[in-house]
Amino acid sequence: MCKKKPAHSKSPSVSVPLPVSAIDKLAFGGNGVCRIDGKVCFVPFSCPGDEVSLRITARKKSYCTASIAEIISHSPVRTTPECSIFGRCGGCHWQHISYSAQLEQKRNILAEALWRGACVPEHLIGDSVAAAQMYGYRNRLQFKVSAQNRTVRIGFYRQGTHQVEDAAGGCPIAVPVINQTLNCFREMLQLYPGIAAVTQLSIDAGDSGVLVIIHQDGSITRKCREYLRAQAGGLWPCTGLFIKTDRHGHGEKIWGASEISYRMNQADPAQKPAELTYPPGGFAQVHQRQNLAMLATIRQFGDFATHEHLLDLYCGNGNFSIPLAAEVASVVGIEGNADSVLAAEHNREINKVANARFFCDDAASGVKRLIAERHNVDTVLLDPPRSGAGDVVAGIAELQPGKIIYVSCDPSTLARDCGLLSGCGYHVATSVPVDMFPQTFHIESVTLLCR
């Protein structure tokens, strides 16, 4: 028979020392990187130059993850976040890091990806194009909405969850007019009859005004419509309101404007800027000033001549095609989203562009058609989604353009595609990160490839 040990004879707890590490760099995804026992370790909210003690949170075959138990020595580039909910909100990743360090780390991440995926030497990677504003820059935002026990929370999902962290003070990276609009809707939605079904609030701010889409589960009742229409005069600066459910793929207009507009510079400063529009829910860049910086970089890389023919793949609403059309003989734009193509055609008409054509097709089949037509292409400009353009690389090479200008939002798929293009006779001449998303790990870049 086993005897119970007396209470005073319990074995003393053994204190396991926490590993202490120096954070070397940042990874795409936002985490700091160090090594523990020779294995790569990813540490959220760490900063290059920090010396930290860590709690291991997960062990994988080739890496581990950890949380910070204590910052033993603060990095000289560590700074104070602007946002009171930074670290809980899942929107920003790097508010605790100085902006100059963010720019350096983004360049390093892009350079490492291109070296690993396409053997591109680091000296071909340019410095990051800095944003003029580190905060107050974002002109499109999607706020998550949760209404429980008569409490409405509007903000962003907490890190790794679907719980809404309330952004009661607004979002510091949003342009001020978005936060003004959010405050109006926060008050209005408290009494909205359909608030329990609201999941998201999308706010787009342009030169022409502010459009808001209320995303709602289920059907829209007459009572909901009547309530929203009655608010038309009291939601300034909102200039147009839509409501969207699964049954209304494009959204139902409640009142106000039907589209939003912004301006893109022409090559000749004496010319009137191109006026571009897109519909509610349509794609547009989230940082307009850096959108202009990307266009300037594309112009520099393209060095376009009036006898050249430009192919714009994944052209969207003509964001680049329309302002570039005056500099070339012709533009063909191919886009898989029908609404974006309609917007591009509308933009072509209102800007009186006669030498551009837009087609609704996926990039691969659209390129095949151009090959069959023996279409002459001098430059291919492409701005694919995060998954990249792997399925169209062979077709682009078959068109034999002199230059390829690749706009990317993902360094890994850019590197993969540059590697594929290398096998087709194209080499990277230069690549430049354009910081569209300060305070986050997201990296936009423009890469020039030549034969």
> How deeply is 315 buried, as exposed, middle or buried, from its count of CB atoms within 10 A (0-12, 13-18, 19+)?
buried
- Tell me the residue type at 350: I
Contact 433/129 with Cβ under 8 angstroms? yes
Spatial distance between the Cα atoms of 199 and 152, rounded to a whole number of angstroms: 11
SS3 187: helix
HSE (CB half, 13 Å, CA atoms) of 233? 1
Contact 319/291 with Cβ under 8 angstroms? yes
Phi, psi of 223 (to 5 degrees): -65, -40
Active site residues: 409
Contact 32/46 with Cβ under 8 angstroms? yes
Q: What is the DSSP code string of 193-251?
A: TTGGGEEEEEEEEETTEEEEEEEESSPPPHHHHHHHHHTTTSSTTEEEEEEE-TT-TT-
CB atoms within 10 A of CB 217: 11
Sign of CA dihedral 184, 185, 190, 191: positive
Q: What is the DSSP letter of 8?
A: G
Spatial distance between the Cα atoms of 111 and 116, rounded to a whole number of angstroms: 9
The continuous run of DSSP H or E covering 262 comes out as: strand 260-264
Least Cα distance to 443 among 282, 262, 276, 287 occurs for 287
In angstroms, how far is CA 435 from the centroid of its own chain? Answer: 10
Q: What is the largest CA-CA distance in the chain?
A: 98
The continuous run of DSSP H or E covering 332 comes out as: strand 330-335
Spatial distance between the Cα atoms of 430 and 356, rounded to a whole number of angstroms: 28
